[in-house]
Amino acid sequence: MYRTILIPVENSPADQTILDHIKSLARPAGSSLILIHVADGWAARNFEQLNLAESEEIQEDRAYLERRAAELRAEGFSVESVLVMGQPPDEIVKYVHLHKVDLIAMSTHGHRLVGDLLHGSTADKVRHLVDVPVLLLKAKM
């Protein structure tokens, strides 16, 4: 059913909510997992244009992705990790359009009041711009 599941992670406690949930869905289906993190700090957004060295934030994000992927591999999952740079909703949608993904599974924070009203959430933007199912799970904080 879902052979390839894309899981956006943000290097926060919210990630555990979606990872715990997706394991029970992915294991019986034999799904491959792709962890994606979008580095969106100043250095990440200007990385290529200014030919910058990786910032401490980017290095920490890469290490976090590898740590989470290793944990899942140790549990028997087939996992790939991808670090991209830019605006989270744009980069997630771009990845889905360029790669074969059967499901996007992501956690949400619920309403962050003014920020969500003005800018919308990453999850909301992603779900409107892709043609694959999106599983949203409110983060347990």
Stated length of the chain: 141
Task: Evaluate whether the domain defined by 4-138 bears CATH number 3.40.50.620.
Answer: yes
pLDDT tens digits for range 42-92: 556 655 565 555 668 878 999 999 999 999 999 999 999 999 988 899 999
Residue with tokens 């590898």: 66
What's the pTM value of the predicted model, to 2 decimals?
Answer: 0.86
CA gap 63, 38 in Å, rounded = 13
What are the sequence ranges of the domains in the chain?
Answer: 4-138
The answer on pLDDT for 129 being more than 80 is: yes
Q: CB of 55 within 8 A of CB of 44?
A: yes
CA gap 67, 73 in Å, rounded = 10
- Choice between 42 and 102, residue whose per-residue pLDDT is larger: 102
CA gap 112, 141 in Å, rounded = 14
